[in-house]
Structure 1
Amino acid sequence: MSPHETREFINAVEYTVQLTSVVAGGARWRTAYARARRVAERLANAAARAKDVVDVRAVAGASHDGQVLTPERVCFGAANSGHGTGVDPAKLNRYLDPDRERALASLAEANAAARARRQADFDRRQAIGCSNPAGLGPGIARPCRCAYCRPQEHLEVRGETRETWAGGGRCLCGRLSNPPAFGCRPHRGQQLVVLDGDPPELARLAAVIARAHTTDRTSPPPGRDEPGLPPPGR
């Protein structure tokens, strides 16, 4: 199980506490602001060390009736991530538990892999004119007879147990093609692309195609995209 799939990560909750404090002033008018920043830092440090807290960020600033007028990130001693400020570059502004940091990295990696797969699925479907280039689910998919939408049908048409494609067959887009190893004219040369998570029928179809290309080295007669058409000139 990946770190981002644990209960502690999935069921975590972000919870914000708005706390308003009035800090005593001093002989100089800026004294209260310096004291208030130190109070905010101590509060952030305490939150970072509290039990079960795995992520802490704090915002503070001068306020009126509890509404912050100029919010600023608080840099505090317990922080171990984020960045500092020009006022205090040595202190960071976020505490992040190492386990949660690994979970966030795991989630980012999983999201990137999912985006890459969606893009690869879109590209392969678009290449053969699939009616569902976005990889829509079965419940909302448009009718399509391409190899990605109906791999079992392509297996049955081409003959899963044959070593070569004798007679007619279908291009990856679903149109009749003879010989099917080369595809119909608009999609001639397109290859079947199998991705992780594809149904087993698609992997078996890829194996059938691989055997066909290994055993069938003939070139397609020009202009014969439909089975049963006579050679040119007759």
Structure 2
Amino acid sequence: MSACAKSSENENSSIAGGDRTTKSKVLETGAGLVQDFTPVKQICAHLNAFHVYANDRTRCVEANHYCTHLTEDVRQCLIYDSPDAKARLIGVEYMVSPRVFKTLPAEERKLWHTHEFEVKSGMLIMPAPASMPNAAWEAAETAEMEDVAPIYGKTYHFWQVDRGDVVPMGPPQLMGSFGSEDDVKKARPGGLDELLRERDERFGVDYKAKAKKREGIAAVEKHPDADTMWNKSE
């Protein structure tokens, strides 16, 4: 098992149960035509990055975020192991603005992570629609990254697909984000190049080019309580 599971490694992984029956497919199709899916229809962004286990920094997993903006200060994201039709829902992430974060109790703030390195390194991407001109999408993505860089995230994963679980097992796992190249090397000795090579090929992107485009994003003043989840595991 690799230190960081990617969606391409998970596509053929076992999932408990057999293939859906014709009856199930018919019922699902009918329900899909008549039921109201308002909450999930509010999803407005797909972000891709990697989450690292708070209790084991040698383990990480690819995370496809499908996010809703509840307010200007609060976002919520469903986390899937891939962007495919049979993707597994592996976790959730909540994101809040610095204004909200500083109002949280000190012990609560220790459960939250930052996004600046993900953004500025080019690790965090918004996969582009096939029909969108690249230049236009890059501009939109960079603008979104400016908004994401200063916000804080709280993430729990329920399904540890990187260890081959066929259903979610055990307690939820607190997850964090990589904060430096040295952090990445704890999970992948080759650093960002090793971690992102296959992901970039799959989505047709270049993290180094994205990092270059994001050099103008302002530095973030990180709250000292953020990213301190690691202190308990080191």
Judge same fold: TM > 0.5, yes or no: no
Which category describes the TM-score, using the shorter chain as reference length?
under 0.3
Return the TM-score normalized by structure 1.
Answer: 0.22
More strand by share: 2
Q: Which structure has the larger Rg over C-alpha atoms?
A: 1
